[in-house]
Each structure stands twice: as C-alpha cells, then as structure tokens.
A and B are shown apart, each in its own frame.
Chain A
C-alpha cells in the first residue's frame, strides 16, 4: 500500500514547551487510523501541523504520490490538495441553512471568480441531498444550522467533510455528545469512508475505537508511544502506565 501522508521527525515548541517531539507518522491511501493519548499528548497540535495551522520547527510533512511538502502551503491550499478536517467542537456556519453549509463544502473550484460564476447544477443539488440523507439531515436541509442539536451539528460537519471529498480525513472526537445509536451510525460512516480514503480519528473513548477496528497510534508527550492493534497497545506496559498513572 502506498503512503498518502508521511510525517517524519516533526517537532514544535510553544514558548519552550515541546508540544510535538520528533514525531513520525505514516498513513496509506485507504486506511483507518485511530490516534489516542491522554490530554496534552499533542493530538490536536498534530492535526494543526498537517492542516497548516501550525508550522513545525523541524521535520517534514510529505503528501501524495509526488511527495509534496505541505509545510510551504497555506491552510486553504492544503485543504484543496485533499486534506479535510473536522474539529472537536462542531464548527458549522450557524447562520446558514444545512443545504448552504453542504454546498459550501462541496468539491469544486475554490477561486473567487469561479465561485462567483458557480451555479449549482442538478447534480450538485443531488449530491447535497445524498449527503444529507447519509447524515440523517434530509428533512432539515432548509433549516438553519444553528437550530440543530449538538449531535446533528456533529453530523453536519461530518457531512461537510464528505462533501469536500478529501483523500485524508482528520476527525477530532467525532462521537462526542452523541447517543449510542448515533455513535454507531458515525462508526459506519467512518468505516465506509475509510474504504476509499485515509481516515485519522482522534478519540478518547476506547469503546468507540474498538468498534472502528483499526490500527491505533498512541501519542504521549508529543511523540508516538506505541502503535498496533488496540489489544496490542492496551496491553503495552508503557501505555498502561501513561493512561492509569504511575
């Protein structure tokens, strides 16, 4: 399996605090990966580096077949290259309808002039409706996103991520604030997505991670502590120490 994203030897410090310390990470083109770790392990900073929000002090982040460096690109260029991100707190555009939110995310040319000329065709509306059906918001298409419940906003954001059609999905705690049934549906969506693209899920909930049934990377103090199946890493001595305290 060829590598989609290769992070090697990345370090970043904030005011002397090493948030990420010589971190290396790889993911293939159609792979699901769960990233776990205690608070402050650097999970969010790790995502910030990949998406271009934070520039690392050291190391390299290479993307795709051409091994393009993501470090010189802006956030929007990285997103256009095919990296989609879902934030921990659902961030949807509350003042706009569900349909508008999805249409905004829909894959298309993002330049101002082409967006100005962009007229959603029948197939674009079709895609939006399909995604809305998939995330269970078909009946809410014309409601403002701000009126949705927390779980629905989470889904809308997942839907926006799907609409973006990225090659790599970075998903931060997708199941937070969801009921068990909703969690199950989210799992299905992510597993389905991972068949055709790379999915990185940051999660605290071990039960959720178990259901994803994928390789797990454990982060601690900004570097990889262990990597392997969930059973493998949970039986790792160091991991137990970090999670249960010494």
Chain B
C-alpha cells in the first residue's frame, strides 16, 4: 500500500455514512438473521402490537370500539402493504418499474373468488333443490350453480376456466401458480429481449390493460364487468358473524404481511440483495461480473408476482367483490405512487407508504374529510383527493426522493451533505474534507 492511499483513507475516516471503524470482522457469521437486521424485529413487533390492539378494540373478540367495516379496511390495508412490499422489491431494489403488479394481485383475487362463489352457490342450490320431490342429480346441481353464477351474463354453462373451481386446494394453488406462470412467461419474453426502463413499464402496463379489457368481456368466463361478488361470505360458515370473519382475515393478512416482510428482508439481505441493487444501478456492469441479469430479473419478477397474488387472495374476500376495474392500469400506478411516497429501496418505506396513502385515500374518498369552502368554490375532497395525491407525488419526487422512509435517516442523522451546488471533493461522489470530519 502506498502512503498516499493511507493518508487519503485517514482523511475521510469516519465520514458521513461510514460506519464506526470496525475492522473487517465477518458481518454475517453466527448472529441470527433478525439480529443482523433489527428493522425486521421492530417491524414484526409493531405489526404484532397493531394486530393485538385491533383484536382488543374490535367487535369480533374485543370491546367493540372499532366497527367491523373498519376492521375490514385495516385488513385490506395490510394486504396492500404486502403487495407494496412486492413492488418495492421489484422496483425499489431491482429497478424494474412494473406497472402490472396489481394485475397479479387481481388474478389472486379472482382465483380465490371463483372457489368462494362456486362453493357458496353450490350450498344454496343444493338446499333449494333438496326441497324438490325427486332428489337432484349431480348434473342438475351443476346446471343450477352455472345458471345462478352466469345468468347475469346470459350464459348457463361453466366456462373451461372454472374446471377446478369446486376444489379449494386447486384454487389456492391457482392463487400462486397463475400469477407466477404469467409473470414467468411475460418476464422471460421481455427480459430476454433486454427491454428495460420506460419501455418495460409500458409493456407491463399494456399487459395489464389487455388483461382488464379481456375480463370486461362477458364471454371471458369471469362474469365480465359484474365480476365476482359475495366473496365476504365464507361457504359453510354462514352463521359465523362478519365481525368474527373480519378478524380471521385481519389475522391472516397480518401473518401474511409479517412472513412476507421477513421473506423480502431475507431476499434483499446478503449477496443476492447486493446483486439486485447492482442491477438497478448498472446492469451492464453486473453482466461483466458474470451474473445473468435476465435470470435475476425473471426470478424477482416472478416471486413478487406470486406475493402479489397471495395478497390479492387475502384482500378480495375482505372487499367482498372483485371486478375487472380493479385490474386496470391505474391500480398499478397507484401502487408505484405508494411505494414512491413511502420510500423506495427500503421495505418499511413501502409498507408505510401503502398504509398511509391508502388509509388517507379511504378517508378522503369516503366523504369523511370536511369540504373546504373558499367562498367562490368549495373543495370537495372526493374529487380533489386524486389531484392532491398527484401533487404530493410530484412533490415527493422532486423534494424528498427518499419518501417518508427518509425521515428515519433524519432521526439517525444519516443525511447526505448538502453542498448547495458547491464544488465536490476530489471528484463527484467523494466527500469534502470538512464534511468527512463532521
């Protein structure tokens, strides 16, 4: 080592962002995963506290301060947080701005919705046919279910995609497999041709739009624009009150979010996460290091599509209804906005963004926000909320690119030096001497 190098190291010793000069001890090693990633532990603790709090306050098992509909809103919010995690993995960490992840979310919802609707209709049809003088044949029951479900689109036969709708395990498998396979095929085609950046975003958006338009058709086999409804009623559990069911789903959503968070944290930690962030910053360079960038992108795209599918399968039974409008590109754009506002490239940022913006959105569009009377014009938030959201998105992008999650850096004093446009150190990116000594 030359003297120059030693002195220049010393000069910057302890600069902003530099950790205390621990020597090159193995940072992995024997310590368990959560000990190396305290933010995971903090997150799980917050999630557990939240879930216990809601359980105590809700009607189902607690004192009943929180209404069942609000419990459902909270449960749905947890699912949105989970899909935001997926978006952060694919966009914030890997740099693929996918505008299609809400389509995977919707597919997950449709997959579980088909079973819910089939099984519940089956019970209704069998009960009503049981009163007939002759015992109904299986064919009669099947026809009855079909005309019940598809009467609204003028059909009375099951389309082929309903072939396994009677089976819960198979439909649950579809929740994972259909989004996963679609992402795999789409991603393989797109990444193999090295479509990147805004072109890839447009391509994913086109996929989403195509899917939504297809589902809008009555002969798509999924009841066209009527979508699937009555999903909040669990088949065979008709006498369990919604206040209880809503708690079940809240717990399931919280558990899924917790597991999803640990899974995502595990993926982005270590060398795999390092490769992902490297792909985001300079994918050509990663290729010359010998990593097949396309393989990594395909892996992350598919895995996040599966996470989105699971989130959707938990969301729509709480929402009660799914229709093709839910898959429209705007939903995926909202997803990107949540992650951007929450803070890209950090998992808790995505969760905070999704929870904060979607709850705020519920409040504004639910008519609860007080209108503002300006004398000449009254601002009605139901109409103006999207404009406010758009403006905040622009503001966050321009003034706080780290989003809400960036506040954590402020607390930890991890701020990048503000140079006010002054000249940098020896070269761009290097710290100036006085900054380093702070």
Contact = CB atoms under 8 A, between A and B. Distances in A.
Interface residues of A, number: 62
Interface size class of B (residues with CB under 8 A): 35 or more
A58 interface: no
B2 A147 contact: no
22 contacts: A74-B287, A76-B287, A76-B293, A91-B282, A94-B281, A104-B274, A104-B278, A112-B295, A112-B296, A115-B291, A116-B272, A120-B26, A129-B24, A137-B9, A147-B12, A147-B18, A149-B8, A150-B426, A152-B5, A155-B5, A164-B290, A185-B5
Contacts of B29: 122
3 A-B pairs closest in CB distance: A136-B5, A79-B290, A75-B287
A239 B288 CA distance: 32
A133 B272 contact: no
B285 A91 contact: yes
Nearest to B17: A144
A146 B426 CA distance: 12
B13 interface: yes
Given A104-B289, A136-B2, A179-B4, A143 B24 contact: no
Nearest to B29: A122
Interface of A: prevailing SS? helix
Contacts of B38: none
A192 interface: no
Interface in A123-165: 125, 128-129, 132-133, 136-144, 146-153, 155, 160, 164
Contact of A115 (B26, B271, B293): B271
A200 interface: no
Contact of B4 (A87, A115, A181): A181
A243 interface: no
A95 B26 contact: no
B267 interface: yes
B6 A136 contact: yes
Contacts, number: 154
B270 interface: yes
Interface string A91-122: 10111100110011100001111011011101
Interface of B: 1-6, 8-10, 12-13, 15, 17-19, 21-22, 24-29, 267, 270-272, 274-275, 277-278, 281-282, 284-285, 287-293, 295-296, 299, 425-427, 429-431
A181 B69 CA distance: 71
Given A122-B26, A142-B19, A142-B22, A93 B429 contact: no
A118 B10 CA distance: 33
B279 to A, nearest CB: 10
Nearest to A160: B289
Given A104-B274, A133-B1, A143-B18, 6 more contacts: A76-B290, A79-B290, A110-B290, A142-B19, A147-B17, A164-B289
A184 interface: yes
Interface of A: 51, 53, 74-77, 79-80, 84-85, 87, 91, 93-96, 99-100, 103-105, 110-113, 115-116, 118-120, 122, 125, 128-129, 132-133, 136-144, 146-153, 155, 160, 164, 177, 179, 181-182, 184-185
Contacts of A119: 28, 270
A100 B274 contact: yes
A116 to B, nearest CB: 5
